[in-house]
Amino acid sequence: MKALALVVACVATGALLAGCSSANKPTNKDDSAFVYLFDRKSNWTENKVETLPALPVAANLIPFDVSGNTPLTFAVDSKSLTVGDDGVVRYTVVVTSPGGAHNVNYEGIRCDTYEWRQYAALNADHDGWDDTVATPFTRIENGALNAYQASLYQDYFCESKVPTGNAKKIIDNMRYKRTAASQIH
């Protein structure tokens, strides 16, 4: 009986060693299907912006706070705000200086990446859009004195990397100054 057990042990050891041949050497290559969430390649594509909104009128502007340290005032045109199925909130912003000068831009904020881009700006004649000033998505700057994109992202547009709701909900929150911080229970 001991001899049979010895033969079985030898055969098993031989089979184990055969499995360790040079063809099955371990490598540093990861053969698993597991991929960390942050290592996944994004297949996100932005919705095309084929038409620009109408120029803003004063009656449709909703002011919002950015910083007590800036003399500028900021407002979003409620008629221009849209939420795309690509996770981008698009809007027209009007930035006004104490002297009355206006900068008017049509922009988008991408909630999942904390980025913004400009699609167009008011043209030199103040009667239409200039889309030659369009920019690619870039990271939102928090510390800038006039970082209105950061305020829009954090206070009204995005939460947990997705839009806070549809355009009507965002506009209502802006109108009634219901910021993300004020809605924490």
**For residue range 92-117, what is the model confidence (pLDDT) as tens digits?**
999 999 999 999 999 999 999 999 99
Q: 151 near 41, Cβ under 8 Å?
A: no
Of 119 and 181, the structure prediction assigns the larger pLDDT to 119
pLDDT at position 76: 98
34 is a domain residue? no
Instruction: Give the residue-averaged pLDDT of 124-141.
Output: 96
**For residue range 23-81, what is the model confidence (pLDDT) as tens digits?**
555 555 555 566 665 566 678 999 999 999 999 999 999 999 998 888 999 999 999 99
163 is a domain residue? yes
Q: What is the count of structural domains for the chain?
A: 1
Quote the percentage of the chain above a pLDDT of 70: 76
DSSP characters over 21-79: SGGG---SS--SS---GGGSPP---PPP--SPPPPP-GGGEEEE---TT-S-EEEEETT
29 is a domain residue? no
pLDDT at position 15: 52
3 is a domain residue? no
Helix H or strand E segment including 89:
strand 88-96
**Full domain range(s) for residue 102:** 58-183
37 is a domain residue? no
42 is a domain residue? no
pLDDT at position 142: 84
User: What's the chain's average pLDDT?
Assistant: 85
131 is a domain residue? yes
pLDDT at position 67: 85
50 is a domain residue? no
Q: Is the pLDDT of residue 181 over 90?
A: no
Closest to 133 (Cα-Cα) out of 149, 122, 125, 144: 122
| pLDDT confidence band for 159 (50 / 70 / 90) | very high
| pLDDT confidence band for 6 (50 / 70 / 90) | low
Q: Is the pLDDT of residue 3 over 80?
A: no
